[in-house]
Structure 1
Amino acid sequence: MAKKHKAWIHVGMPGVGDVLEPALAHHHVALRELGIASAAHSTAESFRAAVEMTRSHKDWSLKRSDVEGQWTRLVRRAEKSRSDLVFSQPLLAGATLDQIALLIDALAGYQVHVVVTTGHEDDATTLGRWSTAVRKTERLHLLETDGLDDAGVWKAFGKLVGFGTASLGLGDVARPAPAVDSLPEALRELDRLARRNASLEIRLEELDRKRRKLKKKLREVA
């Protein structure tokens, strides 16, 4: 039997390790050359998939059709590379057991590993729920982030997954809104605003698609 590729799912926590999501998307081409398939090629893609899985589209003023099937599409695209898959999105930290099971269903061909970054009071709760996603306890990883800057978190994550980050700099990677650890409410609000920006990007993509469709119709009429 052929050895299964690994699927590394980073799920925590909002405000901690947020650099991983944009870094993976920004470097998806370079990562592919290193044998790692970033499921998302943009933060809009990863956000859309997480919203679909957590059934939170209404919270972000999106329609169900805006996100329907996004996670499966990302997984299927990554499968074509025949390599390990990696995905990061903070919204997944709040996924329910049923939502986690649904997300894992699409990864039937992979050996699933879950990575949770530390830094919040509910680390244990998140770890408990996401432990159901892995078949063996050694595939549930707690990534310590205390004392690490973005580059340190990125390097530690790369070491865990199996890729070096020396040539994958963060200089051109768009950062999410900064978190304020001592003010939980402020942290959640900053995260909400960052994700709101991503939802607006999705809506702009839809408007652009409609514009191109209308332009095509006008050419046909002419």
Structure 2
Amino acid sequence: MAKKHQAWIHVGMPGAGDVIESALAHHHAALVELGVASVAQTTAESFRAAVEMTRSHKDWGLKRTDVEGQWSRLVRRAERARADLVFSQPLLATATPEQVALLVDALAAHRVHVVVTTGLDDEAATVARWSAACRKPERMHVLETDGLEPGEVWKAFGALVGFGTASLRLDEVRHAAAAFQSLPDALREVERLARRNASLEVRLEELDRKRRKLKRKLGQVA
């Protein structure tokens, strides 16, 4: 009988471990060369899959059809690499036991490991809900991230899964912000960013005005 591949599901608490989702997506091609296939190739894919599995599409202003079938499609695509699978999305920390079982059902051909990274919230309830997905206690992992930099968290996660991160740098990785647990939280962040962008636009307009004024002065001197 062929040896089962492993599937590593990171459902870490919002915090330092958020970098894992972005890093997996950014380095998905290089990871295959190391024997690991990232289920999601972009953070948008992982977000939609997590929204589908947690049945939270309405909370995000989405329709069920916007995310339906996302998880199974991503798993089938990743399985073509015939490698160990890995997936990360902080929203999965809120999954119910029924939702956990449904997600793991698509990974029946794999030995499932669950990794919970510590963060902004207490992880005890999340560990309890996800433990059943592992079948064996040694496949449930809690990675302490207190005081660690993103690069250190990424390195520790790679060591746990079984790949080195020396060539998988974070320089160009777009670090994920802490996951929002509700649409109102996300809207507040959007509003904050909108205000920041408006402020930047005002500053750019002022700089452009000064540039044009200086150009006219230089033209008069010439």
Same fold (TM over 0.5): yes
- The answer to whether structure 1 residue 74 and structure 2 residue 83 are counterparts is no
Superimposed CA distance per residue, residues 102-145 of structure 1 (whole angstroms, 9 cap, x where no aligned partner): 00000000000000001345211110000010110000000010
Given that 1:177 and 1:191 are in contact with CA atoms closer than 8 Å, whether structure 2 keeps it comes out as no
Q: CA deviation at 1:178?
A: 5.5
- Give 1:193 shift: 3.0
Structure 2 residue corresponding to 1:193, chosen from 186, 191, 198? 186
Alpha-carbon offset, residue 167 of structure 1 = 0.5
- 3-state SS in 1 of match to 2:25: helix
Cα contact 2:37–2:84 (8 A) shared by 1: yes
The SS at the match of 1:98 is helix
Q: Is the contact between residue 177 and residue 190 of structure 1 (CA under 8 Å) also seen in structure 2?
A: no
Cα distance between partner residues in 1 of 2:185 and 2:159:
29
Matched-pair identity in %: 70
- Separation in structure 2 between the aligned mates of residue 123 and residue 13 of structure 1, nearest angstrom: 7
Judge conservation of contact 1:15–1:191 (CA < 8 Å) in 2: no
Within the alignment, does 1:51 sit opposite 2:51 as a pair? Answer: yes
Tell me if structure 1 keeps the 8 A contact 2:22–2:174: yes
Distance 1:91 1:188, change over 3 A: closer
2: distance between equivalents of 1:43 and 1:54?
Answer: 16
**RMSD of aligned Cα (Å):** 2.1
Distance in 2 of aligned mates of 1:65 and 1:168: 35
Distance 1:167 1:131 in 2: 32
Residue ranges of structure 1 left out of the alignment (5+ in a row): 180-186, 198-222
Structure 2 unpaired stretches of 5+: 191-222
Describe the shift of the 1:178–1:76 C-alpha distance in structure 2 as closer, same or farther (beyond 3 A): closer
Deviation at 1:15, TM superposition (A): 2.4
SS in 2 for 1:115: strand
- SS of the aligned residue for 2:92 comes to helix
The two structures have a TM-score, normalised by structure 1, of: 0.80
**1:146 alignment counterpart:** 146
Q: 1:45-80 CA deviation, whole Å, 9 max, x = no partner? A: 000000000000011111111100000001001111
Per the alignment, residue 161 of structure 2 pairs with 161
Instruction: Calculate the TM-score normalised by the size of structure 2.
Output: 0.80
Instruction: State the Cα distance separating 1:189 from its structure 2 match.
Output: 7.4
Matched AA of 1:126: T
Q: Secondary structure at the match of 2:82?
A: coil
The 8 Å contact of residues 16 and 153 in structure 2, kept in 1 or not, is answered as: no
Partner of 1:176: 176
Instruction: Tell me whether 1:115 sits opposite 2:115 in the alignment.
Output: yes
Are the aligned partners of 1:116 and 1:141 in contact in 2 as well (CA < 8 Å)? yes
